[in-house]
């Protein structure tokens, strides 16, 4: 097996294309996982499965007795008594399948990562360092499953009908971190050499702005997680004003003040709106500066244009989701496209990686 310490060396172009394509497939599956997770959250399906069986959970209920057993377990938690009491086995099955598919998809992703990885290692198609990195991704994926169960368990507490927002954000953040790491690795394998080493002041400024913007984007996504976890999106469904005010009148109703950012629904929704707008403006600045940098090459310029379209679509999805009072389809698409926008932002940064950030 090759022993080079870099995933960009000792790999043939054909192998780079094959392995990066496999990693892109995993990223696409992660997007699907995020979408399904949005559906389970918005339909209240996440608490329908009361046990965590990492291996046997691959098999759905195959008998009426097993369905009755699972339904009886569900009837012991507060969500059933507070929201779904009396909806019967058929109603339980509807919410069960959304959560089961979510978990099944996660297990399937683990196999799609592990089995080809073993094959590539045995065939000597990847470097040892890359093999180690990908195995760490597999471990992180398994850990993500544990974080998911940690999140779900919070919904079983007395008088609880949903998971804790903090745990929801932790679960979402871990998924996005894994998605970003795999996507960056795929970019680096597919395009190991920077297209151009821009050195103009515009190129350097574009890279600095892009680095700042991706931090702002991640903060916006985290704020969106709190908006989802606290159901703050259902509170004010007008735009750009909130109950006739630019800033809601009860923004600072909690003490200490910082608690408003995580618990106060009015503040949580306003913060997400504000951060989303600042992110869109920051991306606009990246485009204005980056497109003027003629020494960056066509690939980087195309990445900037793609980023512009992505942020317009995501902002429009956010406003649409709000105005329609968060229907399941819009909420799931908005959540998923946030990860798409993050991926495009990473692609822009990857195109700029040969540019020096300072003069």
Positions at the binding site:
272, 334
> Which ranges constitute the DSSP H helices of 242-359?
265-290, 298-323, 328-351
Residue 352: CB partners within 8 Å, gap ≥ 6? 198, 203, 206, 207, 210, 290, 296, 300
CA distances from 249 to 125, 220, 229, 254, 276 (A): 60, 22, 22, 12, 20
Nearest Cα neighbor of 26 from 188, 126, 141 is: 141
Q: What is the distance, to the nearest Å, from the Cα of residue 201 to the centroid of all Cα atoms in its chain?
A: 33
Strand partners, 245: 242
> Which ranges constitute the DSSP H helices of the chain?
13-42, 64-74, 78-79, 88-122, 128-153, 165-190, 201-229, 265-290, 298-323, 328-351
Token couple for 88 = 């019967």
- Measure the CA–CA gap between 206 and 211, rounded to whole angstroms: 9
Cβ count within 10 A of residue 226:
23
Token couple for 167 = 């745990």
Token couple for 158 = 């007395």
- Measure the CA–CA gap between 40 and 102, rounded to whole angstroms: 8
Q: Residues marked as binding for heme?
A: 272, 334
Nearest Cα neighbor of 171 from 71, 54, 37, 347 is: 37
Token couple for 102 = 């979510």
Specify burial of residue 157 (Cβ count, 10 A radius: 0-12, 13-18, 19+): exposed
First to last CA, the chain: 41
């Amino acid at each position: 097996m090759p022993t080079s310490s870099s995933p960009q060396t000792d790999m043939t172009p054909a192998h780079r294309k094959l392995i990066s394509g496999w990693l892109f497939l995993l990223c696409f599956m992660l997007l699907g996982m995020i979408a399904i997770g949005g559906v389970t959250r918005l339909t209240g399906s996440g608490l329908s499965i009361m046990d965590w069986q990492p291996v046997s959970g691959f098999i759905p209920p195959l008998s009426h007795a097993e369905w009755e057993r699972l339904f009886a377990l569900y009837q012991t938690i507060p969500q059933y008594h507070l929201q779904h009491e009396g909806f019967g086995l058929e109603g339980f099955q509807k919410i069960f399948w959304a959560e089961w598919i979510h978990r099944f998809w996660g297990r399937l992703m683990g196999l799609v990562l592990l089995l080809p990885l073993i094959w590539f290692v045995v065939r000597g198609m990847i470097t040892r360092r890359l093999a180690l990195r990908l195995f760490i991704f597999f471990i992180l994926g398994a850990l993500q499953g544990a974080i998911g169960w940690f999140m779900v368990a919070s919904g079983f507490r007395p008088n609880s009908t949903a998971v804790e927002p903090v745990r929801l954000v932790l679960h979402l953040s871990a998924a996005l971190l894994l998605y970003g790491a795999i996507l960056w690795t795929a970019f680096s394998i597919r395009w190991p050499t920077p297209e151009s080493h821009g050195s103009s002041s515009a190129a350097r400024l574009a890279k600095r702005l892009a680095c700042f913007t991706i931090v702002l984007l991640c903060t916006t996504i985290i704020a969106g997680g709190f908006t989802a976890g606290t159901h703050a999106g259902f509170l004010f469904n007008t735009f750009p004003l909130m109950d006739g005010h630019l800033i809601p009148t009860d923004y600072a109703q909690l003490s200490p003040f910082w608690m408003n950012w995580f618990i106060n629904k009015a503040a949580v929704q306003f913060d997400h709106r504000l951060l989303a707008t600042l992110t869109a403006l920051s991306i606009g600045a990246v485009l204005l500066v980056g497109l003027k940098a003629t020494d960056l090459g066509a690939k980087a310029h195309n990445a900037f244009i793609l980023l512009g379209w992505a942020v317009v679509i995501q902002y429009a999805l956010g406003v649409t989701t709000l105005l329609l009072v968060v229907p399941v389809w819009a909420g799931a698409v908005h959540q998923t496209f946030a990860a798409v926008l993050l991926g495009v932002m990473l692609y822009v940064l990857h195109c700029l990686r040969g540019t020096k950030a300072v003069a």
